[in-house]
Homo-oligomer: A and B are copies of this chain.
Amino acid sequence: MSTRLDLTQDVGALTARIVDIESVSGDEKVLADAVEEALRALPHLRVDRDGESIVARTGLGRSERVVIAGHIDTVPVADNLPSHVEDGLLYGCGTSDMKAGVAVALKLAAALDEPARDVTYVFYDCEEIEAERNGLRRLSLDHPDWLTGDFAVLMEPTDGEIEGGCQGTLRAEITVRGRRAHSARSWLGVNAVHRAMPVLEILNAYQARQPVVDGLEYHEGLNAVAIRGGVAGNVIPDECVVTVNYRFAPDLSLDAAQEHVREVFDGFELRFTDLAPAARPGLTDPVAGAFVAAVGGTPRAKLGWTDVSLFSGLGIPAVNYGPGDPNLAHQRGEYVSLEKIADCERRMIGWLRG
């Protein structure tokens, strides 16, 4: 089977074509090659490649440059390929998250040889796995000049609504210690599991903030995501570890979020194990305002963490906007509405031409 991509196909058919080229994280080469080949055929774009990530840019000298980005990898196939259409819905691995968004971006790249804004298209690898391998992160470190821009749209599934910024996330392990003893003489030991009670008290009493940032309302959360302790059925445990996850609004820097967690658990042994900053929605910037006006709808806050924070780290305001349904991501029965893909394409063309 040829893996050539025909960018003159309608966007629904192109999505199906891309879905049928398997590209589980770490195994994106065939699809990356096809994307690169299709983009290199377009004379109005400069194309660069790093690993399995492709960046294609117009160079029209416009006063604004916008970035349109999407990852080309998927979670593992779950017996849900090849794709098929049923009642206007395209089923298959990666349809919603986020090959529909990738197809829209490719259509825009081919169709708009003279957009009103310069455009940088980014197709990257390894978004669905550990952060260290993330292709967009790699590009931001190795080729920050490829990613410059005034505004970015990440075409993750948002059900066709604009989602601004994203909340940050951090994890910390709180370790409570005790002293082992045989449980038949428990008073000779100190029970670390019993001593974890105040940690749970703090979590139960915690009042999560719902701050408004750049006009969007966020909703934080501080939660235990794991607890473990115990040596054997006849031993008083000498250690209990509570893993907490703090989801914080974009009015807090990563440092401020860590400081907050340290204050909340003042006096406890605490170690951060995972840190990802939030991203401000940036919808108060004029360039973002033009996007919102062109695409329509009422922007809402993004509560989960997404790669928009990488753009935010580069000083580029960014939003999530794509045709997929976030609730279907990573599900075996994943699908995307063909009508929503086409609608997304129309709105994006309207914005970039306008």
Q: Which A positions have Cβ atoms within 8 angstroms of B?
A: 167, 169, 171, 182-187, 191, 193-194, 196-197, 200-201, 203-204, 208, 219, 221, 223-237, 240, 242-243, 245, 247, 274, 303-305
* Contact in complex: A219, B304 (CB < 8 Å): no
User: How many angstroms from the CA of A223 to the CA of B247 in the assembled complex?
Assistant: 33
* Contact in complex: A233, B245 (CB < 8 Å): yes
* Contact in complex: A197, B191 (CB < 8 Å): no
* Contact in complex: A303, B236 (CB < 8 Å): no
Closest Cβ of chain B: how far from A341's Cβ, in Å? 25
User: How many angstroms from the CA of A240 to the CA of B204 in the assembled complex?
Assistant: 15
The quantity of this chain's copies bound in the complex is: 2
3 closest A-B pairs by beta carbon, nearest first, are: A226-B230, A186-B221, A197-B200
Q: Which of B185, B235, B243 contacts A303 (CB under 8 A)?
A: B185
Q: A224-B194, A226-B230, A233-B225 are in contact. Are A247 and B183 (CB under 8 A)?
A: yes
* Contact in complex: B200, A196 (CB < 8 Å): yes
* A223 cross-chain contacts in B, Cβ below 8 A: 183, 186, 191, 194, 236
* A226 cross-chain contacts in B, Cβ below 8 A: 193, 229-230, 233, 237
Closest Cβ of chain B: how far from A157's Cβ, in Å? 14
* A231 cross-chain contacts in B, Cβ below 8 A: 225
Q: A197-B200, A303-B184 are in contact. Are A227 and B229 (CB under 8 A)?
A: yes
Given contacts A183-B245, A191-B224, A197-B204, list 20 more A-B pairs with CB under 8 A: A169-B183, A183-B225, A184-B221, A184-B304, A184-B305, A185-B303, A191-B203, A193-B226, A194-B204, A194-B224, A197-B200, A200-B200, A224-B229, A225-B230, A225-B233, A227-B230, A227-B240, A228-B228, A233-B243, A233-B274
User: How many angstroms from the CA of A185 to the CA of B191 in the assembled complex?
Assistant: 33
User: How many angstroms from the CA of A245 to the CA of B240 in the assembled complex?
Assistant: 17
* Contact in complex: B187, A221 (CB < 8 Å): yes
Q: Which of B191, B197, B243 contacts A230 (CB under 8 A)?
A: B243
